[in-house]
Amino acid sequence: MAPAAAAPAGLAAVMLAVALLAASASAAVTYDRKAVVVNGQRRILLSGSIHYPRSVPEMWPDLIQKAKDGGLDVVQTYVFWNGHEPSPGQYYFEGRYDLVHFIKLVKQAGLYVHLCIGPYVCAEWNFGCPLQPSRSAAALELPEGHRLRLPSSTGQCRYRVNLEQAEMQKFTTKIVDMMKSEGLFEWQGGPIILSQIENEFGPLEWDQGEPARAYASWAANMAVKLNIGVPWIMCKEDDAPDPIINTCNGFYCDWFSPNKPHKPTMWTEAWTAWYTGFGIPVPHRPVEDLAYGVAKFIQKGSSFVNYYMYHGGTNFERTAGGPFIATSYDYDAPIDEYGVANFWYVFLLTMATSYSMASVFKSSTGSCVAFLENKDKVSYARVAFNGMHYDLPPWSISILPDCKTTVYNTARVGSQISQMKMEWAGGFTWQSYNEDINSLGEESFTTVGLLEQINLTRDKTDYLCVEIAQDEQFLSNGKNSTLTVMSAGHALHIFINGQLTETIYGNVEDPRLTYRGNVKLWPGSNTISCLSIAVGLPNVGEHFGTWNAGILGPVTLDGLNEGRRDLTWQKWTYQVGLKGETLSLHSLTGSSSVEWGEPMQKQPLTWYKAFFNAPDGDEPLALDMSSMGKRQIWINGQGIGRYWPGYKASGTCGICDYRGEYDEKKCQTNCGDSSQRWYHVPRPWLNPTGNLLVIFEEWGGDPTRISMVKRTTGSICADVSEWQPSMKNWHTKDYEKAKIHLHCSGGARKKFRRG
Ligand code: GAL
């Protein structure tokens, strides 16, 4: 037979199409009303989200193995479009973005993959989509107004950020083709059993009606035509057209049913807690409540639960969405940011689902499984069942796999609790370099009016320097004047005649800023400059692609000789990025190109560098940045992320009772403290000696108190035989000692079991 390559191109394409059709016709993964069916077998699938770019490839095998040990069958991940296509047509699939390698590792571990192609990802990921290429030019052409970015009309990356549907189709097709050519779908012998198109598009349809519905149906058809041979799902999408399965995301999903009776009931995001933001407390979810939520869902006869997140990881570089999403994406997940499994947590999650293997409560062979529930948020309930009495703790479910014996109750803990300890592992000797924002570089330009920041920076940098142009004279009488600056966000430094006068910033709820204050002007002409900072682009919300950042005005001065002056429509000079960024001070070459001096304490807008050797051992590492204010860290040129310990969390923390409905504000820590103090340093980024650590500090901190720490585990072993409400004082991490019998058997860690 002639080799395929010898066949004419058209014929080869037809042959390929026929082969794919045949393959998908005999697809090994299907579904019915009860479950996803893999190779003819209905499966109860326990899944967990691990996002590959939020850790380093060297961590992947261990994370996946821990997920397997934790009882998972499936690993779910988004595909991160803007990481894979950093500029139009330029693709990147290396390092942390080596998607194929990640999927192959999951296969090697014997697990399945749920591939959420999206390609829009929400995920607290910077912008969730690529920036559309034409935006900058289009915005600058706009002659008047505040030069808002173009409003988007249809689509998700299309809808939300004005990317063309064709672009979305192109990227989705590229990923599908890549998976096919690597043989990664289940029918090809690969691990992918499910895929996802779009992400939580339903809410946009509720708001926008017909055009949004038309888009959803276009996206669904486009996906189905790709013939992937495994089911597509659409999460939070009540209108998901057949054969696409609509699924539930949330803290609880026991209320949920799919839009057609022949589809299985699936929970694609069971939120294990919530993300951390700079300036807000850190959320935790009591595992008793999560286990209860999951048992309730399974009790309904559902067959798929995905823990979002199972390993949250780290928002390296500037990948954190926003504004104000923290660098840690720990998510209080069963495997923590550093890759350490919280065994207590894993144990509970697994137990809650493993008995559900018999989701048929009574089978024809006579086997019987019972779930007994107590919905009361306060008190025990005594229930009579099958001729026996059962005492059920409040807000819990007991599982009786033989309809007699309680083997598990979601509120009863029978395992160990591990605590994170950060051990000092070294300090640094610093040199410093001052960022000079008073003389703008050659690439600066002058124009009339105030320009939107993201249009200008294209998100290549967080920074935009904006200065009133030199030829714009306004005369002060030398008395105090009142300056008003309004900005769309997210943070701002104001300089009068080169002196830092004020620093302001928004918050997670509202990134907008208004500065109004007395400023001391010189008699004669004065310079007003602002350094405007974006702290992560939004990733969720209607048309979030049109949300602005930067100083859009009005900017006014009161108390001049002439009275009030509106500066909004004067000439302004712009410089995108910092000088240190242009010089690549974060890299070895760049940092050698300038003279560094002795560090000065509490000096704002300063670059620091230090060399260090890798600490011994193999414990995960972090930088303790508690003595610093705000900005960014690099090690050997790699972005550790944005830091901001100077932004103290405001909110309510305190006693956490697992009983009653959970939401992300219920059980929080770090009130009045930094939202994030420690910053993960992946060991594989270090050389044994001579590592370059570079920091850019905006506020002025004390670098001499920065230290490297090792993340170790201090264990509290808690064997609990009687029920007690899990009440933790999150401030002191004090567990109710009177009620818990502490039992440490020789310090050995008890391995969690599978049901
Ligand atoms: C969901 C979304 C996820 C993530 C989550 C919050 O609505 O689908 O991508 O953003 O919220 O962590």
Question: Is the model more confident about 664 or about 210?
Answer: 664
Q: Residue 342 and residue 286: Cα distance in Å, rounded?
A: 13
Per-residue pLDDT, 153: 32
Distance 97 CA to ligand 1 centre (A): 20
Report the atom number in ligand 1 closest to the C-alpha of 331: 12
Ligand 1 pocket, mutate which of 79, 308, 508 (most atoms under 8 A from CB): 308
Cβ atoms within 10 Å of 17's Cβ, excluding its own: 11
Distance 301 CA to ligand 1 centre (A): 25
Q: Residue 367 and residue 358: Cα distance in Å, rounded?
A: 9
Domain boundaries, the chain: 24-133+148-347, 436-577, 604-712
Euclidean distance between the first and the last CA atom of the chain, given in angstroms as a whole number = 53
Please work out whether the CB of residue 122 comes within 6 Å of at least one atom of ligand 1. Answer: yes
Question: pLDDT for 151-194, tens place per residue?
Answer: 333 335 655 555 678 888 999 999 999 999 999 999 999 999 99
Q: Is 706 helix (H, G, I), strand (E, B) or coil?
A: coil
Please work out whether the CB of residue 350 comes within 6 Å of at least one atom of ligand 1. Answer: no
In what helix (H) or strand (E) does residue 25 lie, and over which residues does it extend? helix 9-25
Distance 546 CA to ligand 1 centre (A): 20
Phi, psi of 245 (to 5 degrees): -90, 125
Question: pLDDT for 71-117, tens place per residue?
Answer: 999 999 999 999 999 988 999 999 999 999 999 999 999 999 999 99
Q: Of 164, 182, 200, 664, which residue is the catalytic one? A: 200
Instruction: Name, in order, each residue with C-beta under 8 angstroms of 568's C-beta and a sequence gap of 6 or more.
Output: 449, 450, 553, 554, 555, 556
Question: Is the model more confident about 21 or about 122?
Answer: 122
- Quick one: CATH architecture of 436-577? Sandwich (2.60)
Token output for 624: 């303790």
Distance 269 CA to ligand 1 centre (A): 8
- What are 69's strand-pairing partners? none
Report the atom number in ligand 1 closest to the C-alpha of 539: 10
Q: Which of 44-58, 120-134, 261-275, 430-444 has the lowest mean pLDDT?
A: 120-134
Distance 275 CA to ligand 1 centre (A): 9
For tokens 């969690």, name the residue: 752
Report the atom number in ligand 1 closest to the C-alpha of 78: 9
Question: Is the model more confident about 27 or about 735?
Answer: 27
Instruction: Check pLDDT > 90 for residue 542.
Output: no
Distance 308 CA to ligand 1 centre (A): 8
Distance 242 CA to ligand 1 centre (A): 24
Report the atom number in ligand 1 closest to the C-alpha of 275: 12
CA–CA distances in Å: residue 561 to residues 349, 519, 558, 565:
70, 15, 9, 10
Q: Residue 198 and residue 222: Cα distance in Å, rounded?
A: 11
Distance 421 CA to ligand 1 centre (A): 29
Q: Is 725 helix (H, G, I), strand (E, B) or coil?
A: coil
Q: Residue 146 and residue 548: Cα distance in Å, rounded?
A: 10
Mean pLDDT for the stretch of residues 485-495? 96
Please work out whether the CB of residue 123 comes within 6 Å of at least one atom of ligand 1. Answer: yes
Phi, psi of 218 (to 5 degrees): -60, -45
Please work out whether the CB of residue 496 comes within 6 Å of at least one atom of ligand 1. Answer: no
Ligand 1 pocket, mutate which of 50, 77, 124 (most atoms under 8 A from CB): 124
Distance 272 CA to ligand 1 centre (A): 11
Q: Of 237, 269, 288, 697, which residue is the catalytic one? A: 269
Cβ atoms within 10 Å of 33's Cβ, excluding its own: 13
Instruction: Name, in order, each residue with C-beta under 8 angstroms of 523's C-beta and a sequence gap of 6 or more.
Output: 475, 476, 477, 478
Which residue has a Cα nearest atom 5 of ligand 1? 123
Percentage of residues of the chain with pLDDT beyond 70: 82
3-state SS of 304-318 is: EEEEEEEECCECCCC
Per-residue pLDDT, 351: 60
Per-residue pLDDT, 308: 98
Q: Residue 639 and residue 433: Cα distance in Å, rounded?
A: 19
Per-residue pLDDT, 209: 86
Question: pLDDT for 359-371, tens place per residue?
Answer: 336 666 778 888 9
Q: Residue 578 and residue 435: Cα distance in Å, rounded?
A: 7
Which residue has a Cα nearest atom 10 of ligand 1? 123
Q: Residue 390 and residue 83: Cα distance in Å, rounded?
A: 53
Q: Is 726 helix (H, G, I), strand (E, B) or coil?
A: coil
Q: How confident is the model at residue 19 (pLDDT cuts 50, 70, 90)?
A: very low
Please work out whether the CB of residue 249 comes within 6 Å of at least one atom of ligand 1. Answer: yes
DSSP string of 676-705, one letter each residue? --EEEE-GGG--SS-EEEEEEESS---GGG
Ligand 1 pocket, mutate which of 54, 540, 542 (most atoms under 8 A from CB): 540
Report the atom number in ligand 1 closest to the C-alpha of 199: 8
- What are 576's strand-pairing partners? 464
Q: Do 128 and 86 form a contact (C-beta atoms < 8 A)? A: no
Which residue has a Cα nearest atom 3 of ligand 1? 123
- Say which CATH class 604-712 falls into: mainly beta
Question: pLDDT for 29-76, tens place per residue?
Answer: 999 999 999 999 999 999 999 999 999 999 999 999 999 999 999 999
3-state SS of 638-663 is: EEEEEECCCCEECCCCCEEECCCCCC
Q: Do 599 and 627 form a contact (C-beta atoms < 8 A)? A: no
200 is catalytic: yes
Average pLDDT for the chain: 85
Q: Is 474 helix (H, G, I), strand (E, B) or coil?
A: coil
Report the atom number in ligand 1 closest to the C-alpha of 124: 10
Please work out whether the CB of residue 726 comes within 6 Å of at least one atom of ligand 1. Answer: no
Cβ atoms within 10 Å of 115's Cβ, excluding its own: 25
Please work out whether the CB of residue 116 comes within 6 Å of at least one atom of ligand 1. Answer: no
Phi, psi of 166 (to 5 degrees): -60, -35
Which residue has a Cα nearest atom 4 of ligand 1? 123
In what helix (H) or strand (E) does residue 571 lie, and over which residues does it extend? strand 571-576
Q: Residue 482 and residue 565: Cα distance in Å, rounded?
A: 10
Mean pLDDT for the stretch of residues 704-726? 69
Distance 34 CA to ligand 1 centre (A): 26
Instruction: Check pLDDT > 90 for residue 2.
Output: no
Percentage of residues of the chain with pLDDT beyond 90: 68
Preceding peptide of 264 cis, ω within 30°: no
Per-residue pLDDT, 353: 58
Please work out whether the CB of residue 124 comes within 6 Å of at least one atom of ligand 1. Answer: yes
Instruction: Check pLDDT > 60 for residue 475.
Output: yes
Please work out whether the CB of residue 275 comes within 6 Å of at least one atom of ligand 1. Answer: yes
CA–CA distances in Å: residue 519 to residues 469, 494, 497, 647:
18, 10, 10, 25
Distance 626 CA to ligand 1 centre (A): 29
Give me the sheet containing 551-560, strands edge to edge. Answer: 513-520, 480-487, 551-560, 563-566
Q: Do 490 and 126 form a contact (C-beta atoms < 8 A)? A: no
Nearest to 749 by CA among 708, 717, 706, 705: 717
Preceding peptide of 243 cis, ω within 30°: yes
Instruction: Check pLDDT > 80 for residue 356.
Output: no
Question: Which stretches does DSSP call E strand in 79-188?
Answer: 112-118
Ligand 1 pocket, mutate which of 117, 156, 249, 282 (most atoms under 8 A from CB): 249
Q: Is 608 helix (H, G, I), strand (E, B) or coil?
A: strand
Q: Residue 265 and residue 256: Cα distance in Å, rounded?
A: 7
Phi, psi of 348 (to 5 degrees): -65, -40
Residue 522 carries which DSSP code?
P
Phi, psi of 46 (to 5 degrees): -105, 125
Per-residue pLDDT, 135: 42
Which residue has a Cα nearest atom 6 of ligand 1? 123
Please work out whether the CB of residue 127 comes within 6 Å of at least one atom of ligand 1. Answer: no
Q: Do 475 and 525 form a contact (C-beta atoms < 8 A)? A: yes
Domains 436-577 and 604-712 share a fold: yes
Ligand 1 pocket, mutate which of 50, 125, 269, 331 (most atoms under 8 A from CB): 269
Q: Is 709 helix (H, G, I), strand (E, B) or coil?
A: strand
Q: Residue 644 and residue 657: Cα distance in Å, rounded?
A: 30
Please work out whether the CB of residue 270 comes within 6 Å of at least one atom of ligand 1. Answer: no
- Quick one: CATH architecture of 24-133+148-347? Alpha-Beta Barrel (3.20)
- What are 249's strand-pairing partners? 269
Instruction: Check pLDDT > 80 for residue 582.
Output: yes
Mean pLDDT for the stretch of residues 448-466? 94
- 86-113 core/surface letters (b: 16 or more CB in 10 A; e: else): eeeeeeeeeebbbbeebbbbbbebebbb
Q: How confident is the model at residue 265 (pLDDT cuts 50, 70, 90)?
A: very high
Q: Do 205 and 213 form a contact (C-beta atoms < 8 A)? A: yes
Question: Which stretches does DSSP call E strand in 395-479?
Answer: 396-400, 408-409, 414-426, 431-434, 445-448, 463-468
Q: Residue 565 and residue 571: Cα distance in Å, rounded?
A: 13
Locate all alpha helices (DSSP H) within 190-309, ordered by sequence: 202-208, 210-225, 287-299
Q: Residue 101 and residue 535: Cα distance in Å, rounded?
A: 31
Per-residue pLDDT, 438: 77
